[in-house]
Amino acid sequence: MLLIPAIDLKEGSCVRLKQGLMDQATVFSDEPAEMALHWVKQGARRLHLVDLDGAFAGKPKNLEAISAILQEVGKTLPVQLGGGIRDLATIEKYLDLGLTDVIIGTAAVKNPQFVREACKAFAGHIIVGLDAKEGMVAIDGWATVTEHHVADLGWQFADDGVNSIIYTDIGRDGMMSGVNIEATVKLAEAVGIPVIASGGLTNLDDIRALCAVEPQGVAGAITGRAIYEGSIDFAQAQKLADELAV
């Protein structure tokens, strides 16, 4: 079970939102590159970046901070990023910058052909992020809930060739209310490719619960508010996950 620290970028700072609301942002650092290095020193083996401004604008908005992070840690471990990725040129720019994987969210739902084209052009580097509220996919920075069920879209994108799916339960994101294990497992079993859980990770009991379902296709978990506010000690949590995997 791979635990992945999240660095959410808003106006160049590292923040966390509650349920995706931009006006509910808590700033944790004005130096995202230093924060990235901190998590690497704590034992992180992958980082998850989100360009929050880009997610709403539909184009990259935090390139300076992203570049600084990659210069600091990009050669040390894989780094993935989502938010505002709407075309192949943006993907190419990000991969050239040093990102390992790019995450397509809203654009995947609005334009499925884009995912197919991206998987062909950049095979092995495409992740789809599916954010859901009560099982229904949400887009546009979670502002719009669609009529698409998460499992149906997940299966389609798996067939297109994405390397994994990040599943976020919007209702739990940033709320410290526990991971939606049942929904995450259901999606993993439906799509047959690795699913990364996101939203609600709160304590070591969540780590234990996730490790128990790892054989069912839940390959990792993104953690944000819990490690920033201290309800989870990242190094301790990853150590526990490694021990449970033995």
Q: What SS3 class is residue 35? A: helix
Q: Which amino acid is at 199?
A: G
Q: Which residue among the candidates 8, 53, 101, 206 is catalytic per the annotation? A: 8
Q: What SS3 class is residue 92? A: helix
What pLDDT digit, counting tens, does each position of 121-143 carry?
999 999 999 989 888 998 876 77
CB atoms within 10 A of CB 245: 10
* Distance in angstroms between the alpha carbons of the first and the last residue of the chain: 11
Is residue 23 predicted with pLDDT exceeding 80?
no
Is 233 known to be catalytic? no
Is 51 known to be catalytic? no
In which band, very low, low, confident or very high, does the pLDDT at 95 lie, cut at 50, 70 and 90?
very high
Q: H-type helices in the chain, by residue range?
A: 32-41, 52-57, 63-73, 88-97, 106-110, 112-121, 150-160, 181-191, 204-212, 225-229, 234-245
Q: Which residue among the candidates 53, 101, 131, 173 is catalytic per the annotation? A: 131
